[in-house]
Chains A and B, each alone.
Chain A
Amino acid sequence: GNSVTQMEGPVTLSEEAFLTINCTYTATGYPSLFWYVQYPGEGLQLLLKATKADDKGSNKGFEATYRKETTSFHLEKGSVQVSDSAVYFCALSDLSNTGKLIFGQGTTLQVKP
């Protein structure tokens, strides 16, 4: 079945460091891929998405590229800020007619000043 695997956290970085959070997926066909973020005390919100191979999603300095050949959708940011501290979830949209999301287990990012 479809699944998403993320690197385990927590990831602890100093401010202005480079961030990579790895995400790989297993799916039949070509699902849409998403990164959601959950800030402390808040609900899940969409960070970025990509709908087909080689698409790059980007938002707020974060980027991820849909790599079909490696079935990956790694999240990157060139210079993190303290305000980026949150839990990040990689997800794919199931290709059934519901479009339900299948999530990874989440990666906690802590950015220290």
Chain B
Amino acid sequence: GAGVSQSPRYKVAKRGQDVALRCDPISGHVSLFWYQQALGQGPEFLTYFQNEAQLDKSGLPSDRFFAERPEGSVSTLKIQRTQQEDSAVYLCASSPRGSSGPYEQYFGPGTRLTVT
């Protein structure tokens, strides 16, 4: 079946522009995660949804970052007034379960954001 998809795959933004990154999780997956991966680093957690509820946003680096999942499926990560330090790959992952445990997270290919 279809895996996690993300769009766009690449995004170039001028400093100060707003961007919106989309994630389509695997159908029926309850949990959805966003991670930020800087060049040469491991992914870092941004935020977590269980269905439409955003239960953890402790990793969002500033109030310029906002995420939503209004119908419990597709999610959008929005970054307002982009800065150069926002340049990274943004990864989305989904998981079939709604609670912590050894459940595999399925990752999308990521969106590479470059802020010039």
Contacts and interface: CB of A to CB of B under 8 A. Distances in A.
A94 B104 contact: no
Given A49-B102, A93-B101, A98 B107 contact: no
A24 to B, nearest CB: 14
A106 B35 CA distance: 15
B65 interface: no
Q: Could you say which interface size class chain B belongs to?
A: 20 to 34
Interface residues of A, number: 26
Interface stretch (B14-22, B36-44, B69-77, B80-88): B36-44
B43 A101 contact: yes
Given A43-B107, A43-B108, A105-B42, A93 B48 contact: no
A36 B95 CA distance: 15
B105 interface: yes
Contacts of A103: 42-44
Contact of A44 (B44, B55, B91): B91
Contacts of A17: none
Contacts of A22: none
A100 B45 contact: yes
A106 B93 CA distance: 18
Contact of A97 (B35, B99, B109): B99
B33 interface: yes
Interface string B53-65: 0011001000000
Given A44-B43, A94-B45, 9 more contacts: A36-B107, A43-B3, A49-B102, A97-B99, A99-B97, A99-B101, A101-B43, A101-B93, A106-B41
Interface of B: 3-4, 31, 33, 35, 40-45, 48, 50, 55-56, 59, 91, 93, 95, 97, 99-105, 107-110
23 contacts: A32-B101, A42-B109, A43-B3, A43-B91, A43-B108, A44-B91, A89-B42, A89-B43, A95-B100, A97-B55, A97-B99, A97-B100, A99-B101, A99-B103, A100-B45, A100-B48, A101-B33, A101-B35, A101-B43, A101-B105, A102-B45, A105-B41, A106-B42
